[in-house]
Amino acid sequence: MSKTEPRIIVALDYADAEPARQLAAQLDPARCRLKVGKELFTASGPALVGELVERGFGVFLDLKYHDIPATVAAACRAAAGLGVWMVNVHASGGRRMLEVAAEAVRGADRRPLLTAVTVLTSLSVEEFAELGYQRDIDGQVTALADLSRDCGLDGVVCSAREAASLRGRFDPAFRLVTPGIRPAGSDADDQRRIMTPADAVRAGVDYMVIGRPITRAADPLAVLGAIEHEIETAVEEAV
């Protein structure tokens, strides 16, 4: 990623399109990108994504595709056709699914970044253990990140707490996208493995997904500016 491109992805976690439109009108596409997830996409569909793209925003279509390879490949092609900046899949869908998804976006006229979810950041250690994996969370994240890289994906969605080890493992071009970012003093909400923006920068995170601290603010652009300042300060300190 370049030093000037936006690192903040604002999560439009709304039940319908109107509040998403209202928030987008208060934000600057040169300073942030927007995430459209399952609830908003189910309610408002591709039309809203198209509106946001036309406004100049880079849109992260966060639908976490996980299905048979042909179905996921077709979905990724359809997402690329919407002009989105990034789309994601579940790495646990396996090698064939990841490979055909990567091939599908490579053939798009406007190629989006393709990232894979490793382990959901909402899972606690106890909840993860109930799923029966042989590895611990860190081991599972590393294995799925390796698989995603090997299959030609552009990066992974991971917890910021796993980012430092992944950053040291992969080339800088392999993007790390992290939800669960909360400015100091914010509520954790439904995330378990969280981190502040400054700590995320130090861990090597490329893009940070931030929702409620911005979307519920009386002045979203002011909060965005404060987070940008925190990020810039951390970047300068790291130089």
Q: Give, as one character, the DSSP assignment of residue 193.
A: S
Q: Is 178 annotated for ligand binding?
A: no
Residue 21 and residue 40: Cα distance in Å, rounded?
A: 11
Q: Is 181 annotated for ligand binding?
A: no
Q: Is 69 annotated for ligand binding?
A: yes
62 in active site: yes
Q: Is 182 annotated for ligand binding?
A: yes
- Residue tagged active-site, from 3, 16, 28, 64: 64
Q: Is 13 annotated for ligand binding?
A: yes
64 in active site: yes
Q: Is 7 annotated for ligand binding?
A: no
Q: Is 38 annotated for ligand binding?
A: no
Angle (nearest 5°) at CA 180 between 57 and 139:
115
Residue 66 and residue 63: Cα distance in Å, rounded?
A: 9
Enclosing H/E stretch for 20: helix 17-26
Q: Is 231 annotated for ligand binding?
A: no
How many other β-carbons are positioned within 10 Å of the β-carbon of residue 76?
27
Q: Is 16 annotated for ligand binding?
A: no
Residue whose structure tokens are 């390796």: 146
- Residue tagged active-site, from 62, 154, 199, 206: 62
| DSSP-assigned states of every residue in 17-60 | HHHHHHHHHHS-TTT-EEEE-HHHHHHHHHHHHHHHHHTT--EE
Backbone angles phi, psi at 61, to 5 degrees: -85, 100
Q: Is 70 annotated for ligand binding?
A: yes
- Residue tagged active-site, from 16, 67, 190, 206: 67
Q: Is 3 annotated for ligand binding?
A: no
Please report, in angstroms and rounded to a whole number, the separation of the first and last CA atoms in the chain.
16
**How would you classify residue 113: left for phi > 0, otherwise alpha for psi between -120 and 50, otherwise beta?**
beta
The catalytic residue positions are: 62, 64, 67
Residues of the binding site for substrate: 13, 35, 62-71, 121, 182, 191, 211-212
Residues of the binding site: 13, 35, 62-71, 121, 182, 191, 211-212
